[in-house]
Structure 1
Amino acid sequence: MKGPTLELNINSASDLENVNHITKMNVYAVVTLSGDKKIQKAKTGVDRYGGSNPNWNHAVKFSVNERLAGEGRLTLVVGLFSSRLLGNKDIGEVEVPLGYLLPSTNGNGNGHEMKFVTYQVRTPSEKMKGSLTFSYRFGGTPIISGPAYQQVPASWASPSQHGYGPHCYMPQPPPPPHNEEIRLQKAGLVVSALSLFRE
C-alpha cells in the first residue's frame, strides 16, 4: 500500500539577515525531510530580485514513512542560502518536527486543504532573524499519528511564536517553605516532644 505524501509549497521569506552586506542577495531554499534512511531533498529556484524578502512559490512533494511520522522521528528542514560567485552563503534555517504538522495535532482535520504557516528563521549564530512562510497538506493515505502526537498540550508554543515547532514547558516545582514556616514547624516538634515528657 502506498504511503502518504507531504505536499509543500515554499512560498516566501521576509526580513532575512543580509549576509552579502554590500550587494542584494539572490536567495534560494533547500528543503529536506530527514529522519528516514532515505533522506529526501529539493531545491527552489534562485530569487534574484527580492533580496531579504524572496518569493519562490515552489512546489515540493515528499513520500512519508507513516510509522516514522507517527513516532515523531521525521523532521522538515528548510535551509536558506545566498547564491554567490565566490561561494554560497548560509542565511539560516527553519526546522519543524513533522509530527507537529500532522492533521491530528494542528486541527487541520483530514489534511486535504493547504494550510499556511510562518516560522522564524534561525541564523548560523543561533539568533532569530526573519521568517519563512510555506503551505502544506498530506495527500494519499491518511497518517495515523502515534501516542506522542495524539494531542498537543496547551502549554506548547505556536509555530509563529518560536519558529521551529512545539516547545513543551515543564511545570515549575513548588517553592521551598519560607524560613518562618520552617521555624514554626520546628517549634511544633519541640512542643510535641515536651508534651511527651510531661505525661
Structure 2
Amino acid sequence: MEISRTDEPETRILEINLISAQDLNKIRPIRRMHTYVLAWVDPRTRLRSDLDRVGGENPTWNDKFLFRVSEDFINADISAVQIQIYAVGYIRDNFVGTVRYILSSSSPRSDGIPCFSALHIRRRSGRVQGVLNIAATVFRGSDFPSLSGISAICVRDLIGKNNKTPRDVGSKRSEHAASKEAAESSCNLYCQEKSSFTTITVFRESVVMAG
C-alpha cells in the first residue's frame, strides 16, 4: 500500500471508526448490495473499508482509519472528513451516498475516548436517505513516534496484519472479482471489539517492545 508522508512537526492523530449504516438507498437491479466506504481528509490519500456482504441496506464495517492532521485542522470550524459509500456492481461500482463529517459538530475528544455520531447520508440528488454511525477520537501525534510522517493509514495496515495492495475502485470487473478484491483490501479492522484507545495502546506497546 502506498503511504503518503508529511513533515509537519506539530500534529494530531485523528481516528475515524466507520461503524455501520442504516436504510441506504437501494441500488437496482442488485439483489443484495455489497457496500464499502471511501474516506479522506486529503483527496490525494483515500482509504477504503472492507466489504460488507450480508447487511444489504444496513451494512456494518467496523473499520478504523488514522489521519495525521494539524492542530489548526482539529480546531477549525469547517474542517471535515469526506466519506462516500459505494455498492459493488456488475460492470462498475455504484455511488450510494455521501457524508461530510464536520469535526466541530461533535468536537471529538483527545483523551482516547471515542465521540460517537449518527450522520445523515445524502444521495447524489442531495436527498437525505440513511444514517451513518461513526466514532472519532483525537490523539497527540507525539505519543506515537512510529507514525511520524504518515498522513493516512488503515489500522490493519498499521499493525502489519495485511500487506495486500488495494486496487482502484470503479474499474470494470465482475461482482465476484470485486468482492474478492475488497476482501483482500488492506483497509480491514484489526479487532472489531477493541475500543479506539485499546487499539492504539496495543500498537504503541508493541513498538516499545520491538525497540
- TM-score normalized with structure 1 length: 0.61
SS across alignment from 1:67:
helix
Structure-2 residue corresponding to 1:179: none
Structure-1 residue corresponding to 2:47: 42
Matches of 2:131 and 2:139, distance apart in 1: 26
| Letter matched to residue 21 of structure 2 | A
Identity of aligned residues (%): 22
2:14 to 6, 20, 25: 6
Counting matched residue pairs gives 134
SS across alignment from 1:23:
coil
Highest RCO, 1 vs 2 (Cα 8 Å, sep ≥ 6):
2
Shift in Å, 1:28: 0.5
Structure-2 residue corresponding to 1:125: 125
Matches of 1:39 and 1:102, distance apart in 2: 25
SS across alignment from 2:11:
coil
Matches of 1:22 and 1:43, distance apart in 2: 21
Segments of structure 2 that go 5 or more residues without pairing to the other structure are 1-8, 143-211
Matches of 1:97 and 1:63, distance apart in 2: 16
Equivalences for residues 69-108 of structure 1 within 5 A: 69-103=74-108, 108=109
Matches of 1:59 and 1:71, distance apart in 2: 23
Give yes or no for contact 1:13–1:131 (8 Å, CA) kept in 2: yes
Structure-2 residue corresponding to 1:60: 65
C-alpha RMSD over aligned residues: 2.1
Segments of structure 1 that go 5 or more residues without pairing to the other structure are 143-199
User: Larger Cα Rg: Structure 1 or Structure 2?
Assistant: 1
Structure-2 residue corresponding to 1:186: none
- TM-score normalized with structure 2 length: 0.58
